[in-house]
């Protein structure tokens, strides 16, 4: 899907405001939830929605919405969310299903990288440092409309080169599968650091296992073992011949992403 590149953070703010002010596609339901959550604590939109609005625009955004709330009223938060019949996960977050959107809500202080001490402070600015991928290191403050992001965020997005933001992570396989999905969805290339990480962690794994992991973890799988095998084969050659260079997109068999979004 073609989309004009965002050159200024102000352009991304406009896209978020448009989403939240629109009455179509169940967006007003998201706005209502955000307004109610702000009575409990300061709320930001985190990561994926902002990444997709940057890369695909409102017309291309069709994924989950991640929210983080800074609050000491966790009992009040839990009580409020019960009407949405949330599902709790092992990291302390809530997953809600609205009529059109799935929403994940996390208390700021329960962020894994904070709890483990990999990122020392616990502010929204520091939250940007906790993501595995640099493309996810961004927040939109619902209250004042400000955006915080890792340094050079839009440059990284517009270059189409995916990099590691924080390597320490509880789910290496999950992030590697996401890297493969980013390649399919956005045409992402991998930085030399990310290419090395994938190569070292997947060298001895069967592509069937990677495909199986994606099938279990994502509602709309886009990979298969042939795609994975081709990427790994090309990556192995790249790491032997040009390990200090980025691993840019290679043309493989047609992506399943487009077929799943027709």
Which pLDDT tens digit goes with each residue over 91-136?
A: 789 999 999 999 999 999 989 999 999 998 889 999 999 999 999 9
Q: In the beta sheet, which residues pair with residue 45? A: 67, 140
- pLDDT attached to residue 132: 97
- Token duo for residue 92: 């302390």
3-class state of residue 73 by DSSP: coil
Task: Give the distance, in angstroms, between the CA of residue 55 and the centroid of all CA atoms in the same chain.
Answer: 12
Q: What's the CA gap between 139 and 164, in Å, rounded?
A: 17
Max Cα-Cα span within the chain:
56
pLDDT band of 205, cuts 50, 70, 90: low
- pLDDT attached to residue 149: 97
**217 or 77: which leads in pLDDT:** 77
Q: What mean pLDDT, rounded, does the chain reach?
A: 89
Residue 150 has what DSSP assignment?
S
What is the pLDDT averaged over residues 146-154? Answer: 96
pLDDT band of 261, cuts 50, 70, 90: very low
Neighbours of 144 (CB within 10 A): 7
What is the pLDDT averaged over residues 51-78? Answer: 94
pLDDT band of 217, cuts 50, 70, 90: confident
- pLDDT attached to residue 250: 59
- Domains of the chain plus CATH, in order, are 9-156 (3.30.460.10), 171-260 (no CATH)
Per-residue pLDDT tens over the stretch 40-59: 999 999 999 999 999 999 99
């Amino acid at each position: 899907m073609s989309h004009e590149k965002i050159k200024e953070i102000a352009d991304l703010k406009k896209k978020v405001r448009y989403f939240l002010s629109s009455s179509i596609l169940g967006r007003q339901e998201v706005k209502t939830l955000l307004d109610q959550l702000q009575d409990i604590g300061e709320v930001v939109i985190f990561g994926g929605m902002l990444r997709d609005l940057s890369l695909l625009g409102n017309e291309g955004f069709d994924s989950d919405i991640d929210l983080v709330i800074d609050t000491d009223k966790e009992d009040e938060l839990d009580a409020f969310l019960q009407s949405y019949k949330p599902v709790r996960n092992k990291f302390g977050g809530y997953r809600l299903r609205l009529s059109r959107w799935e929403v994940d809500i996390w208390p700021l202080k329960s962020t894994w990288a904070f709890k483990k001490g990999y990122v020392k402070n616990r502010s929204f600015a520091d939250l940007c440092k906790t993501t595995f991928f640099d493309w996810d290191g961004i927040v939109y403050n619902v209250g004042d409309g400000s955006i915080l992001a890792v340094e050079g965020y839009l440059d990284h997005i517009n270059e189409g080169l995916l990099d590691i933001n924080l390597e320490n992570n509880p789910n290496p396989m999950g992030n590697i599968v996401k890297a493969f999905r980013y390649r399919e969805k956005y045409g992402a290339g991998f930085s030399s650091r990310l290419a090395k990480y994938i190569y070292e962690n997947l060298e001895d794994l069967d592509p069937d296992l990677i495909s199986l992991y994606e099938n279990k973890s994502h509602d709309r799988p886009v990979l298969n073992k042939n795609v994975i095998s081709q990427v790994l084969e090309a990556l192995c050659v790249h790491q032997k011949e040009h390990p200090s260079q980025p691993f840019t997109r290679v043309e493989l068999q047609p992506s399943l992403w487009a077929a799943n979004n027709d």
